[in-house]
Amino acid sequence: MKTTKSTKLFERAKNVIPGGVNSPVRAFKSVGLDPRFIKKARGAYLWDVDGNKYIDYVGSWGPMILGHAYPRIARSIHHATKNGTSFGAPTELEVKMAELMTTMMPSIEVVRMVNSGTEATMSAIRLARAYTGRDKIIKFEGCYHGHGDSFLIKAGSGAMTLGVPDSPGVPKALASETLTARFNDVNSVRSLVSEFGSQIAAIIVEPVVGNMGCIPPKPGFLEELRAICTREKILFILDEVMTGFRLSAGGAQELFNIRPDLTTLGKIIGGGLPVGAYGGKREIMEMVAPAGPMYQAGTLSGNPLAMAAGYEMLSILHKQPSIYKKLERRSRRLEEGIRENIARLGIACTLNRVGSMFTLFFTDRDVYDYESATASDTNMFSSYFRGMLDRGIYLPPSQFEAAFVSLAHSDADINRTIKAQRTVFESLLK
């Protein structure tokens, strides 16, 4: 596979952009390669600047649930640009967007739009602190909630592979307000709550973790967290930036029947444009300015192009719930093929999948938390990743990220992926 143009662009990029990229995982650092610079995308495919074509399982890290350049979404963005790209004043589309979101996710009674998932979680935590008058939060090891200071403590995603789970630059005093528990371990939460209970404003969790690879919650785990929060008057925040509108039309909270106090959203709700949102119980959200005293603002929040893309995306998902059945069927077909490959070739792997999110961990142990995820053989993963990329299969370039199936992945794409994987597995055994 020829990659000379990508390599040249990366050299130029490194000179003027930190590490050559605008977000760390894109650099392919943990798999020992230079990144491919992408020229265009359509449906399930990416094309790089050297003309190589890939079946894409990254999907812009989540938003592309319908596939790239989905015609209805592209049209609505195009149409919106004709009427101006930003007003700094309210629009009807923001009202329609908020109404649709509150209909699809009933735990959200009132919602505020922002510009990224990071902004959503940062604001939600400030709100929880403002509402409860408490300062501490509990997060889980390996969960990622964006790059806000309070969350860069044992964080997942790029922070995990870069080996900086605790970033320099986060004030010690603030870091000490973040308590970390183990995912799928209620006792680790109970002991923090018994020590710090009346100081804890919120527990924030990815209901299905995507950011240390895909890790589902054990039965009862989310329910227990909900019960602890209710008992201790702690706000329960589901970070559905990744799972929202991906695992069902009502998100993970519908799938697991959990009612959080606040929800954070991003990725899919922007239809590929930069968007985030946080929302929840009316009584809590009434704290947000200008309804209440907790300050949070944004020059481009509710941007008309982003709202056009997001509203079209959510309308499609709302009106066609069969999309989730289709996604499940295709994802299951992929899972079955991968399991066949694992069994046939005896590779030490664990596959976790929830709906259209999955991760293949290079360990034969169950993966259910940070520690078991990091037992994976990352060298083996890198070889696997490179082999797949060489065969035109574009996976997340890290052991600790979830891959995504989209509606655009055809049975033929899935079959090609399974076949490529068999060849790569065979070469790994040599």
Ligand X SMILES: *Cc1c(COP(=O)(O)O)cnc(C)c1O
- Residues annotated as catalytic are 144, 239, 267
374 counts as binding ligand X under rule CB under 6 A: no
350 pairs with which residues across the strands? Answer: 361
116 counts as binding ligand X under rule CB under 6 A: yes
How far is residue 123 from each of residues 111, 119, 276, 288, measured CA to CA in Å? 12, 6, 11, 9
Q: Which of 59, 117, 251, 387 binds ligand X (CB under 6 A)?
A: 117
Q: What share of the chain is helix, strand, coil (3-state, %, to 5)?
A: 45, 15, 40
Binders in 218-277 for ligand X, by CB under 6 A: 239, 241-242, 266, 276
Q: How many residues bind ligand X (CB under 6 A)?
A: 15
In whole angstroms, how close is the CB of 331 to ligand X at the nearest point? Answer: 18
Q: Which of 30, 178, 211, 372 binds ligand X (CB under 6 A)?
A: 211
Nearest to 236 by CA among 189, 303, 272: 189
In whole angstroms, how close is the CB of 118 to ligand X at the nearest point? Answer: 3
Of 59 and 276, which has the nearer Cβ to ligand X? 276
Q: Which stretch binds ligand X (CB under 6 A): 79-87, 117-125, 196-204, 308-316?
A: 117-125
Cα first-last separation, the chain:
22
Nearest to 363 by CA among 343, 386, 347: 347
Do 393 and 315 contact (CB within 8 A), yes or no?
A: no
35 counts as binding ligand X under rule CB under 6 A: no
Q: Which residue is nearest to ligand X (CB)?
A: 117
Do 145 and 204 contact (CB within 8 A), yes or no?
A: yes
396 counts as binding ligand X under rule CB under 6 A: no
25 counts as binding ligand X under rule CB under 6 A: no
- Tokens representing 300 are 């481009």
Binding mask 127-146 for ligand X (x = CB under 6 A): -----------------xxx
How far is residue 315 from each of residues 72, 103, 270, measured CA to CA in Å? 11, 11, 12
206 counts as binding ligand X under rule CB under 6 A: yes
Of 164 and 348, which has the nearer Cβ to ligand X? 164
Q: Which of 3, 30, 52, 118 binds ligand X (CB under 6 A)?
A: 118
Nearest to 213 by CA among 362, 360, 427: 360
In whole angstroms, how close is the CB of 160 to ligand X at the nearest point? Answer: 13
14-33 residues labelled b (16+ CB within 10 A) or e (exposed): eeeeeebbeebbbbbbbbeb
In whole angstroms, how close is the CB of 187 to ligand X at the nearest point? Answer: 24
Whether the ω angle into residue 90 lies within 30 degrees of 0, i.e. cis, is no
Q: How far is CA 286 from the centre of its chain?
A: 27
Using CB under 6 A as the criterion, which residues of the chain lie in contact with ligand X when the complex forms? 116-118, 121, 144-146, 206, 210-211, 239, 241-242, 266, 276
